[in-house]
Copies of this chain bind each other. A is one copy, B any other.
Amino acid sequence: MTQIPTELSASVYRVRVGYVDTDQGGVVHHGTYFRYLEHARVELMRERGLDYKRFELDDKLGLPVVDASIQYRQPARFDDLIEIKTWIAVANRAKVRFDSVVMRRDVLLTQAAITLACIRLPEGKICSMPASMIALADASVRNLRGVRTT
């Protein structure tokens, strides 16, 4: 996961580490990365034409996180400018997985794989991932089997 697969397109989200993001260990708290990764996913979607705010409001669908795996290699610190490179590694009717590397220049700080399922709002019932979401993935990782495309 550390290397961005060369055949997949990645989006880049840049963020300045805030004071509030740190803990008394003097580094970014491990839970803070979920904030950065979430911003990175929303921006990847926007870049590829899906406005997540409208997705919830118009399509009455939500994308809850169902699985997260994250490895912390080096700490980020207050005021660091970091880059989160994110790509879609899996996309099918059951789930979409966003993989990310968090970098400070060319130093790998953290890598993560975040898997989202699709639910109908407001009840929260699991449903098929819509074609509009799967379409954001590179063709090589898309699997449209069983997905309604109307």
Contact = CB atoms under 8 A, between A and B. Distances in A.
Interface of A: 16, 18-20, 22-27, 29-31, 34-35, 38-39, 42, 51-53, 62, 64-73, 75, 78-79, 121-122, 124
Number of copies: 4
A70 B53 CA distance: 25
B34 A18 contact: no
B24 A64 contact: no
Given A23-B24, A67-B70, A75-B64, A16 B39 contact: yes
Contact of A38 (B20, B38, B51, B73): B20
Contacts of A19: 23-25, 29, 38, 42, 52
A27 to B, nearest CB: 8
A96 to B, nearest CB: 15
Contacts of A34: 20, 29-31, 34
Contacts of A70: 67-69
